[in-house]
Amino acid sequence: MIEFEDVTKQYPDGTVAVDKLSLRIPSNQITVFVGPSGCGKTTSLRMINRTIERTSGTISIDGEDINGKDAVTLRRGIGYVIQNAGLFPHKTVVDNVATVPKLLGWDKRKAHSTAMELLERVGLDLKLAERYPAQLSGGQQQRVGVARALAADPAIMLMDEPFSAVDPIVRHQLQEELLRLQRDIGKTIVFVTHDIDEAIKLGDNVAVLQVGGKLAQFAPPAELLGEPADDFVRGFVGQDRGYRALTFVHPESMAVQPVPDELALKDGVPVGWKNGSGELLPLGAVFKRGDSLRAALDAVLTSPTGCGVCVDDDGKAVGVIDQAAVAEALRS
């Protein structure tokens, strides 16, 4: 557990970036810091690994004040992922990932094999291992950055807006990859973002900060949406928080209708909708059984026919739902 007790960061010019912040970050969960620019999100994150030193208060990890440990030693035991990955441009992908293990004294063979395993774990093609960062896409670079942060098997990972510089499709893929990894490895992750939707999707707990580094609310996402602490949180979460709250509604049963003839399939995978003129219309979003009601509603709303497509784990169509099915699920 990471604990902040009355932590303040004040700069020499008098600017207070973080003001008496107190909260407990649970182990083996994702905690997200979110808020507007100037609210102290990144400052709070960077005080955990002492790349920024606090002015007053206490930050402890499992009951031990972090200032009682050498700063470099502390950082080597904490994974750190930043925007644009921050990779060494003169090192290959695999050597970037092996950097910290080598600093910790691992032999080259062990460091290399661990790096290759991690590249595979984060979903990167191993053919890219000997390339340099400039030869990768933004999304690929971010995967390398995550692999590098995991290389020394740290208990804690700090992630500072790691997905904000990539396009929305890649961002979604990276978010899903992070959630998959977390299910497998169960790290204590502190994640900074300015995007409330990203915070709600990724966080087991969300800390909403106000300008000046004051904590407005610290709660699980469903509580944050359902019971905002004050007008600031209510405004930051947004007027459509009811729609966002559907992320946490998982109807046990929903009336899925058979796949209609109008749905174009290729080897069972939906590719679009056929209209009366033989043209192929866009498919829209799809969802899986067990997904949230928000995902199902999104599939309905983005479909040109008003029917959302339900698929299995292989992406093959198993049926469709319409607006009436969503409305019934909302009532149940």
Q: Across residues 188-201, what is the average pLDDT?
A: 93
Q: Which residues pair with 208 in a beta bridge?
A: 34, 217
- Other Cβ atoms within 10 Å of 25 Cβ, number: 22
User: Would the CA dihedral through 200, 233, 225, 215 be positive or negative?
Assistant: positive
* Global pTM value: 0.81
* Largest separation between any pair of C-alpha atoms in the chain: 73
pLDDT value of residue 225: 87
The mean-pLDDT minimum among 16-25, 111-120, 165-174 falls in 165-174
Q: Across residues 268-282, what is the average pLDDT?
A: 88
pLDDT value of residue 157: 93
Is it the case that residue 241 has pLDDT exceeding 80? no
Is it the case that residue 82 has pLDDT exceeding 80? yes
pLDDT band at residue 169 under the 50/70/90 scheme: confident
Is it the case that residue 6 has pLDDT exceeding 80? yes
Question: Between 252 and 312, whose confidence is greater?
Answer: 312
| CB contact set of 33 (below 8 Å; sequence gap of 6+) | 41, 44, 45, 190, 191, 192, 193, 207, 209
pLDDT band at residue 288 under the 50/70/90 scheme: confident
Give all domains of the chain, ordered by start, each with its CATH number: 2-248 (3.40.50.300), 263-331 (3.10.580.10)
pLDDT value of residue 222: 87
pLDDT value of residue 252: 66
pLDDT band at residue 233 under the 50/70/90 scheme: very high
Q: How far is CA 201 from CA 70, 198, 287, 292, in A?
A: 35, 5, 16, 11
Q: How much is the CA Rg of the chain, to the nearest whole Å?
A: 23
- Secondary structure of residue 318 in the 3-state scheme: strand
